[in-house]
């Protein structure tokens, strides 16, 4: 399988690249600045691309089986980039004829009770609220898309850690353990994402991954 991964240099993007290589897939790392990205293998093709520009996305994605949008706006602080990217990604993959689009989403839009999303709870950290709200808006854009999309929300806390392969897959509700903790390593998140990328058939939904 051929995958183009936008945001390949990010914390989650790096793990997705590593997992794809582990499984023998062909990986194209799409980055804004190649001088700031070191590919983990000579087999990784590195190309310049703009996740906010449909034409750039189409060019970078040509010939791919799956496009993964793993961009983060944390570095530049322009969280509206998530919704801009959603519109551009949908148009770009359609132009390129890529059959599947997978998005690294956020946990903020997950439900914790009927009609109550995590980002709207008092306990949600203020530091993450703007980005989480923007990702929630982006999810609504993907939900109207006429492409095969999949939005994968991580647990409430995602971090570098162990690759265990043991996690749960849920839907629109936050997954937590019996102590109320919701977490997953970026390594296991990458496993879940590649598992879904390899599944045949359409998705067009949001799922979540957590321990």
Residue 76, pLDDT above cutoff 80: no
pLDDT 10s digits, 141-152: 999 999 999 999
C-alpha–C-alpha distance, residues 34 and 41, integer Å? 14
**CATH number of the structural domain spanning residue 150:** 3.40.50.720
Residue 114, pLDDT above cutoff 80: yes
Report helix angle 81-96 to 126-143, nearest 10: 30
pLDDT 10s digits, 17-32: 999 999 999 999 999 9
Helix count (H) and strand count (E) of the chain?
5, 12
pLDDT of 62 reads: 97
Please, are residues 57 and 96 in contact by the beta-carbon 8 Å criterion? yes
pLDDT of 109 reads: 98
Provide the residue range defining the domain that includes 115.
2-210
pLDDT of 51 reads: 97
Other beta carbons within 10 angstroms of residue 98's beta carbon come to 24
Residue 68, pLDDT above cutoff 80: yes
pLDDT of 78 reads: 76
Number of domains the chain is built from: 1
pLDDT 10s digits, 167-204: 999 999 999 999 999 999 999 999 999 999 999 999 99
What's the whole-number average pLDDT of the chain?
Answer: 96
């Amino acid at each position: 399988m051929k995958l183009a991964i936008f945001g390949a240099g990010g914390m989650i993007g790096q793990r997705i690249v590593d997992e794809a290589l582990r499984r023998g897939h062909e990986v194209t790392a799409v980055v804004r600045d190649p001088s700031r990205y070191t590919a983990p293998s000579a087999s990784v093709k590195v190309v310049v691309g703009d996740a906010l520009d449909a034409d750039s996305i189409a060019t970078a994605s040509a010939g791919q089986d799956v496009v993964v949008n793993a961009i983060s706006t944390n570095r530049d602080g322009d969280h509206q980039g998530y919704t801009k990217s959603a519109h551009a990604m949908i148009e770009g993959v359609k132009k390129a004829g890529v059959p599947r689009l997978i998005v690294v989403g956020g946990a903020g839009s997950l439900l914790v009770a009927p009609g109550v999303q995590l980002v709207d709870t008092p306990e949600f950290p203020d530091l993450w609220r703007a980005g989480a709200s923007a990702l929630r808006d982006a999810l609504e854009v993907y939900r109207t898309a006429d492409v095969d999309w999949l939005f994968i929300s991580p647990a409430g806390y995602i971090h570098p850690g162990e690759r265990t392969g043991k996690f749960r897959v849920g839907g629109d509700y936050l997954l937590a353990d019996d102590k109320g903790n919701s977490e997953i390593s970026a390594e296991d998140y990458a496993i879940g994402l590649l598992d879904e990328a390899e599944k045949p058939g359409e998705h067009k939904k949001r799922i979540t991954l957590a321990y």
